[in-house]
Copies of this chain bind each other. A is one copy, B any other.
Amino acid sequence: MTASPKLLSLLSSDPAEFAELVTGMQAADVAEALRDLAPGAAGRVIAALPFDLAVEVLDDPELEDRVSIIRSLDAGTAGILLDAMSADQQAMLFRDLPEADRTRLLPALSRPAQEALTLLLHYPLEKAGGIMTTEFMSVPPTWTVEETLQLIQRVGGAKETVYELYVVDPTDGRLRHVVSLRELILSDRGKLVTKVGSRRKPVTVDPDTDREDVARLISKYDLLALPVVDQAGRILGIVTVDDVIDVMVAEQTEDAQKFGGLEALDEPYADVGFGAMIRKRAGWLTALFIGEMFTATAMGRFEHEIERAVVLALFIPLIISSGGNSGSQATSLIIRAMALREVQLRDWWRVAARELPAGLALGTILGIIGLLRILLWQTLGWYDYGPHHLLIAETVALGLVGVVLFGSLAGSMLPFVLRRIGFDPASASAPFVATLVDVTGLVIYFTVALFMLRGTLL
């Protein structure tokens, strides 16, 4: 937060001191510092940086405003910098560029870079194809370890990673084998690359694989990069572990915001404009509000009962919120278990068979506490629930058992229903579950009351 004004003032006053300062800085720190500057000022800093560092800074997705920064530069500088960027970050940047700038800047790129860009932009950002890079190292199966190591020395500097080498058949472009630089270094220089490393079939994904599944595979197999191959087995690109970490962070933010009951912001909280913020929140808030209107309808059905026994109304928020809370617990458990593939769609009855006794047990615990609370207040004279206080306490307790049981069941089943009908189970937010349970909870409570209090209060 403090480095950027310093950067800017040094830039305009003492170029030597500026160069000295930034050379000792990590690219990610420069990117972070530039976030506080206006695009024009950040552009001037970028243009003044040593070339390699400038490219590294632009390559960093933490530099959120890089589209505006690139647009603030003259076409010559922008073109040279863009061309030196890594293919996946080039694509990320071009995705966000307005059409006019795309056509202006595309010719600045080399022919192979243009081709790579066309390929990468073809895939959506949510898929493996949209986050892969084309800058991987490949060798033919006839090469030796020594030849491969020499190639790395010659061209490794321009590649996204040199730690995974892809053995590709030159005749059909198919991926035959994957070998790590570690395995190469540890093995005999004269060996064929195909004889080095594991005999196991390489782990691959196709370009339409969900980026979440890419992250899961990289995590499961402890990979540094995952090759993306087409239907014929030809290698198109690789997804590296650092990009996957960025994906994981982004997905986590999205899921957290969804579970909180709003649309994913896609930008940092402080950077989202007021209008966009309201739109992202008002949509779900209004939908939930309209769903919750059924509580007014349900309550209307029981208006006469409330009139006759106002005391019943006192416990409405307590009872329906307990249903919402137990539902929110169950939903968060199941959404997460689904995301980790611990629970599959076909396991729904297994989950239901667990949530039924769990809901019953939790409801009983709350029911007993509720019963004691009413009797205690009555005994101590803190509140007078009238001559039928024992019946009222029992009604509240039974209502709680029913509502918590229903909440646990509904909350755990909702993600299954959503997935079954083709939605993201993570759309089952805590407020969504609470709304679902509120309406039914009221009906359960009043039905119990009608049954328990008929002939006395009702």
Binding site for B on A (CB under 8 A): 23-26, 28, 62, 149, 152-153, 156-157, 162-163, 181-182, 185-186, 199-201, 203, 218-222, 224, 241-242, 244-246, 248-249, 252-253, 255-257, 259-262, 265, 268-270, 274, 277-278, 281-282, 284-286, 288-290, 292-293, 295-296, 299-300, 303, 306-307, 310-311, 313-318, 320-322, 324-326, 328-329, 331-337, 340, 342-343, 347, 350-351, 354, 357-358, 361-362, 365-366, 369-370, 373, 383, 404, 429-431, 434-435, 438, 442
Contacts and interface: CB of A to CB of B under 8 A. Distances in A.
A176 to B, nearest CB: 15
A429 B333 CA distance: 14
A265 B185 contact: no
A19 to B, nearest CB: 12
- Which of A200, A286, A318, A365: most chain B CB closer than 10 A? A318
A318 to B, nearest CB: 5
A220 B62 contact: yes
Nearest to A308: B310
A96 to B, nearest CB: 19
The secondary-structure label for the interface of chain A is: helix
B218 A245 contact: yes
Given A248-B245, A328-B430, A333-B260, A181 B199 contact: no
Given A26-B221, A362-B285, A295 B269 contact: no
Contacts of A362: 278, 281-282, 285
A219 B203 contact: no
Select the residue from A24, A249, A347, A430 with max chain B CB neighbours within 10 A: A430
A317 B334 contact: no
Looking at A23, A25, A268, which has the most chain B CB atoms within 10 Å of its CB?
Answer: A268
Contacts of A274: 354, 357-358
Contact of A430 (B242, B249, B361, B430): B430
B224 A224 contact: yes
Most buried by B among A222, A242, A313, A365: A222
A376 to B, nearest CB: 11
